[in-house]
Amino acid sequence: MLLPHGTVFAVVDGEKFELYRNTGREADPELTSLDTPSLDETNYSYGARDHDKVSRFTTGAPKDRLDKLEESAHAVAVADWLNDQVLKHKIDKLVVIADPKSLGEMRKRYHKELEGILVGELAKTMTGRPPSDIVKALHT
């Protein structure tokens, strides 16, 4: 996958959110860390619908359900922030790398404009990994 100069990379899991920008060339990307914004992770209602359906069929402890709601709220907050940045034309090329569950939650929230500038996605947990590992994972 070619990664154009200036592409923003959102690396997400159920708790963490990291941002990078490709400051290298398209064929030889170099990811530079960006400041990560603070997010409003209070949108528990969105994930609650899905988790309520699941909770009827599982015997998970309330703490487990709360943790899952927090993870969903985090993914929704990241997607909302990315949508906002795309709509304000602050991001014009985007790669999203997230654990499969978070990526699924985020996809439900993608704005049409975000879908249009999406260069690629990877369903894999890569938070906390060096930028070189992130680039390598995209090329495999």
The answer to whether the CB of 32 falls within 8 A of the CB of 49 is: no
Expressed as residue numbers, the domain containing 62 is 8-37+44-138
Tell whether 28 is covered by a domain. yes
Q: How far apart are CA 21 and CA 90, in angstroms?
A: 12
| Secondary structure (H, E, C), 15-34 | CCEEEEEECCCCCCCCEEEE
Q: How far apart are CA 72 and CA 53, in angstroms?
A: 14
CATH code: domain of residue 13? 3.30.420
- The pLDDT value recorded for residue 60 is 52
Q: Residues 88-128: pLDDT tens digits?
A: 999 999 999 999 999 999 999 999 999 999 999 999 999 99
Tell whether 109 is covered by a domain. yes
The answer to whether the CB of 125 falls within 8 A of the CB of 10 is: no
Tell whether 2 is covered by a domain. no
Tokens of residue 77, six digits: 């907050």
Tell whether 3 is covered by a domain. no
Q: How far apart are CA 40 and CA 135, in angstroms?
A: 29
| Residue written as token pair 């569950």 | 101
C-alpha distance across the termini of the chain, in Å: 9
* Alpha-carbon 131 to chain mean position: 16
Taking only the tens of pLDDT, the chain with its 140 residues reads: 789 999 999 999 999 999 999 999 998 999 999 999 888 766 544 444 444 444 444 445 454 554 667 888 999 999 999 999 999 999 999 999 999 999 999 999 999 999 999 999 999 999 999 999 999 999 88
Angle 62-87/44-55 helices, nearest 10 degrees? 140
User: Which pTM does this prediction carry?
Assistant: 0.83
Structural domain total, the chain: 1
Tell whether 1 is covered by a domain. no
Tell whether 114 is covered by a domain. yes
